[in-house]
């Protein structure tokens, strides 16, 4: 019995052992045979590390091949994180202390580097452990030699040469070109989920942040290279797998529609015009002539020939990142001070006090919105003709005021005066002369009658606005730049919504009336337009009625291969505008603004002596009211014009903030641009001489600014 039990137990033990070994062998077979390939891939992945090598970006050139942005070599100091981590804590502190002391020798007090800043970079998870973490760029030759000779004092510190952006002509076209900078966390999160398969981004890469650098990122960005390293189980590099090496490829070259010579003349005219106004204004308190913008569009296809915004900046300042002092300067604040939420609060307080900082980064040509003033009479004429409110052949009296028909109340309530009231008005005007002399009374009548049509139930409440919108006002133009403002064409619906937001809709302030229409007809009140919108609208008039989508693109080619075309600009028509039988009368009216012998022509003095016989210019002045009785300010000065009149190639809009009348400030600036073109003087423009002396935060007097021209 005992013997049988023993044999039974041994049998059970044997069966159990065989079962366990069977299961073990089955698992080994599954892992090695069935899943063997996948685990091999995992093992190989664990044993290799890929390092992305950034690629140089493509160049940016003007339409004639003048280089506006290229690449240059920069000496970069970095820290090898792995080697630094291997140092003792005391050694690390000593190395960082010596490093910041040496780097700060050539830095201004507000730009000083700190050990804490370097430690933050070392702890930044965005940086690859297989590439040196960049700490400082653009080292001098002396610094490069010093760090190379003092390797014992700076273990883990390496000095390399890298490719960065370079701007041969300083601040020229800065707002158009834009700049590049490190990927933000938000940008990386988007890319991480939807990365470019052909040109994948690494978290520490740079990307176009503004201007065409951002808009044409897909072309300008080069194809990253690759290095694959074999590492041991501790992550230390064993060797490079050279068969996996891939060299980086250059990005494509971007040729802009911009003509660098026209751009330079435009910037010079804008800058010197503002300087002249400041010189003649005297003491204006907090509102001197310090800012403005210009846009020039080719009426034949919508290409942007020039775009300027003032004050401007030097994109070279932004290479390698933006320090707090530089960022403050770009926001129009003193360099000394804090950034972040403290800076935001500082800007809010200044704005509330009525002295908002004049930001340099703001592209006023597409982001600045201004009352259109009398330049809006282009749209008002279109609306008046199409609604049957204007007979081009009819003359009406302009005594310097307009009495609103049917109005009951005091005279100062029912009578709308114009700037010419002191002189007794401008006399009898038809459509053409109303444009030439900028008759407000003529357009007061148009605005009032447009609202009367609605009250008579003959048109909708926004019939006038709908006609004006055909010229692109009140909506983005679609230009190939980011953050474009839409402007505003006010109407009954907009006013009602505004009243709800402010007063809960419980007041009469939200009710549109004839006064609103009267104000809108002369481009005042709540009408807001951008310089590019204005230039594009007048381009649609100059070419006979085609409103194109503005574009900064001329063509894209393979790097350093101007004949290897990748893409070319193709005109995009937004809509066609029918000017009707009034077109010829309007042409005469705008043409008279610059050369009519009428004593009231608003830009005659500005264009006196202009070569009209060979290159005729036409256009419209505008003087936009900006202040109040409590806070008086100088008016904004507008001029929008085109030329040559017979075969228009340039439609230009210039706005000069707080600079006075359109005829005294903006018109001379446009005249300067057009005259350089008309007299074939563009080849004499020195692109390097127009670099903005204010772009780097320096200060010069008005006489010196004018002398630079």
The sign of the torsion formed by the CA atoms of 644, 646, 651, 652 equals positive
Predicted model pTM:
0.85
Q: Which of 314, 308, 341, 319 is nearest to 329 (CA)?
A: 314
Binning pLDDT at 50, 70 and 90, where does residue 19 land?
Answer: low
**CA geometry: angle at 294 spanning 292 and 295, to 5°?**
155
- Cα–Cα distance measured from residue 375 to residue 387, given in angstroms and rounded to the nearest whole number: 20
State the Cα–Cα distance between residues 163 and 75, nearest whole angstrom: 9
Task: Kindly report the length of the chain.
Answer: 709
**What per-residue confidence (pLDDT) applies to 390?**
96
How far apart (Å, rounded) are the C-alpha atoms in residues 85 and 63?
Answer: 51
Q: Is the pLDDT of residue 707 over 50?
A: no
For residues 26 and 430, the model is more confident at: 430
Q: Which pLDDT score, from 0 to 100, does residue 599 have? A: 87
Q: What is the pLDDT of residue 16?
A: 66
Q: Note the pLDDT tens digit of each residue in 454-470.
A: 999 999 999 999 999 99
Mean pLDDT for the stretch of residues 176-194: 86
Instruction: With a cut of 80, say whether residue 172 has pLDDT above it.
Output: yes
Give me the residues paired with residue 528 across strands. 488
* CB-based contacts of 103, cutoff 8 Å, min separation 6: 77, 113, 135, 136, 143
∠ CA 97-102-104 to the nearest 5 degrees? Answer: 95
Which pLDDT score, from 0 to 100, does residue 699 have?
32
Residue 172 and residue 260 in contact, taking contact as beta carbons nearer than 8 Å = yes
Read off the pLDDT of each residue in 292-310 and give the average, rounded to a whole number: 98
Q: Which of 174-183, 558-567, 685-694 has the lowest mean pLDDT?
A: 685-694
Burial of 633 (C-beta count, 10 Å sphere; 0-12/13-18/19+) = middle
- Residues 628-680: pLDDT tens digits? 666 778 899 999 999 998 789 999 999 999 999 999 999 999 999 999 999 99
Tokens for 251?
A: 């990005």
Q: What is the pLDDT of residue 191?
A: 83
In degrees and rounded to multiples of 5, residue 690 shows phi and psi of: -95, 5
How large is the average pLDDT for residues 493-508?
85
Q: How confident is the model at residue 701 (pLDDT cuts 50, 70, 90)?
A: very low
Across 203-224, average pLDDT = 92
- Which pLDDT score, from 0 to 100, does residue 492 have? 93
The arithmetic mean of pLDDT across residues 8-21, rounded, is: 65
Average pLDDT score over the chain: 87
Reading the block at residue 277, the tokens are 């106004």
- 310 versus 42: which is more confidently predicted? 310
How far, rounded to the nearest angstrom, does the alpha carbon of residue 275 sit from its chain's CA centroid? 24
Report for 110-124, 566-580, 622-636: range of highest mean pLDDT: 566-580
Of 649 and 183, the one with more pLDDT: 649
Q: At what angle do helices 377-386 and 531-542 cross, to 10 degrees?
A: 50
Categorize the per-residue pLDDT at 7 as very low, low, confident or very high, splitting at 50, 70 and 90.
Answer: low
* % of the chain with per-residue pLDDT over 70: 88
Which helix (H) or strand (E) segment is 206 a member of? Answer: strand 206-208
Write down the pLDDT at residue 422. Answer: 83
Report helix, strand or coil for 71.
strand
């Amino acid at each position: 019995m005992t013997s049988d039990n023993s044999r039974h137990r041994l049998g059970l033990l044997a069966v159990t052992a065989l079962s366990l070994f069977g299961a073990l062998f089955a698992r080994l077979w599954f892992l090695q045979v069935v899943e063997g390939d996948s685990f091999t891939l995992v093992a190989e992945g664990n044993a290799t590390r890929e390092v992305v090598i950034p690629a140089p970006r493509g160049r940016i050139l003007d339409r004639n091949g003048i280089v506006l942005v290229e690449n240059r070599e920069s000496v970069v100091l970095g820290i090898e994180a792995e080697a630094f981590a291997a140092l003792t804590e005391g050694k690390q502190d000593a190395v960082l202390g010596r490093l910041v002391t040496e780097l700060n020798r050539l830095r201004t007090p507000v730009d000083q580097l700190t050990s804490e800043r370097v430690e933050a970079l070392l702890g930044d998870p965005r940086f690859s452990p297989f590439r040196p973490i960049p700490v400082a760029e653009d080292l001098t030759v002396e610094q490069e030699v010093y760090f190379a000779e003092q390797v014992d004092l700076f273990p883990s510190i390496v000095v390399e040469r890298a490719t960065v952006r370079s701007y041969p002509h300083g601040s020229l076209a800065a707002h158009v070109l834009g700049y590049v900078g490190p990927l933000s966390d938000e940008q990386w999160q988007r890319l991480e989920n939807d990365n470019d398969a052909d040109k994948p981004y690494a978290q520490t890469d740079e990307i176009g942040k503004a201007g065409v650098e951002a808009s044409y990122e897909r072309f300008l960005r080069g194809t990253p290279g690759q290095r694959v390293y074999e590492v041991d189980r501790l992550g230390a590099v064993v060797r490079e797998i050279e068969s996996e090496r891939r060299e980086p490829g250059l990005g494509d070259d971007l040729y802009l529609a911009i003509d660098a010579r026209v751009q330079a003349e435009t910037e010079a005219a804008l800058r010197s015009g503002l300087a002249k106004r400041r010189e003649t204004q005297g003491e204006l308190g907090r509102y001197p002539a310090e800012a403005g913008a210009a846009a020039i569009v080719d009426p034949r296809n919508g290409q942007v020939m020039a775009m300027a915004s003032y004050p401007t900046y030097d994109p070279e300042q932004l290479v390698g990142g933006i320090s707090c002092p530089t960022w403050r300067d770009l926001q129009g604040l003193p360099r000394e001070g804090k950034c972040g939420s403290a800076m935001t609060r500082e800007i809010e307080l200044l704005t509330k006090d009525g002295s908002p900082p004049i930001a340099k980064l703001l592209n006023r040509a597409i982001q600045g919105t201004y009352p259109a003033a009398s330049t809006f009479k282009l749209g008002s004429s279109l609306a008046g003709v199409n609604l049957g409110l204007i007979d081009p052949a009819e003359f009406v009296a302009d005594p310097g005021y307009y009495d609103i028909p049917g109005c009951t109340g005091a005279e100062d309530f029912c009578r709308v005066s114009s700037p010419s009231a002191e002189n007794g008005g401008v006399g009898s005007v038809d459509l053409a002369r109303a444009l030439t002399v900028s008759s407000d009374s003529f357009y007061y009548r148009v605005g009032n009658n447009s609202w009367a049509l609605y009250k008579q139930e003959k048109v909708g409440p926004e019939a006038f606005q709908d006609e004006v919108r055909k010229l692109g006002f009140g909506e983005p133009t679609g230009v190939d730049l980011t953050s474009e403002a839409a402007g505003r064409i006010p109407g009954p619906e907009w006013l009602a919504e505004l009243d709800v937001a402010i007063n809960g809709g419980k007041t009469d302030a939200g009710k549109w009336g004839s006064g609103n229409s009267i104000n809108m007809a002369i481009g005042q009140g709540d009408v807001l337009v951008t310089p590019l919108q204005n230039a594009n609208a007048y381009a649609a008039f100059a070419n006979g009625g085609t409103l194109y989508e503005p574009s900064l693109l001329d063509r894209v080619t393979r790097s350093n291969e101007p004949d290897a075309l990748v893409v070319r600009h193709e005109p995009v028509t937004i809509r066609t505008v029918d000017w009707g039988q009034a077109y010829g009368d309007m042409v005469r009216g705008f043409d008279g603004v610059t050369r009519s012998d009428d004593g009231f022509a608003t830009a005659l003095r500005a264009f006196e002596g202009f070569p009209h016989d060979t290159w005729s210019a036409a256009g419209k002045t505008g003087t936009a009211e900006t202040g109040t009785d409590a806070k008086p300010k100088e008016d904004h000065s507008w001029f929008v014009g085109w030329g040559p009149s017979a075969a228009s190639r340039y439609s230009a809009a210039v706005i000069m903030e707080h600079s006075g009348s359109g005829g005294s400030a903006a018109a001379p600036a446009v005249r300067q641009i057009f005259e350089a073109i008309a007299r074939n003087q563009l080849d004499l423009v020195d692109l390097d001489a127009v670099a903005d002396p204010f772009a780097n935060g320096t200060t010069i007097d008005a006489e010196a600014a004018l002398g630079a021209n």
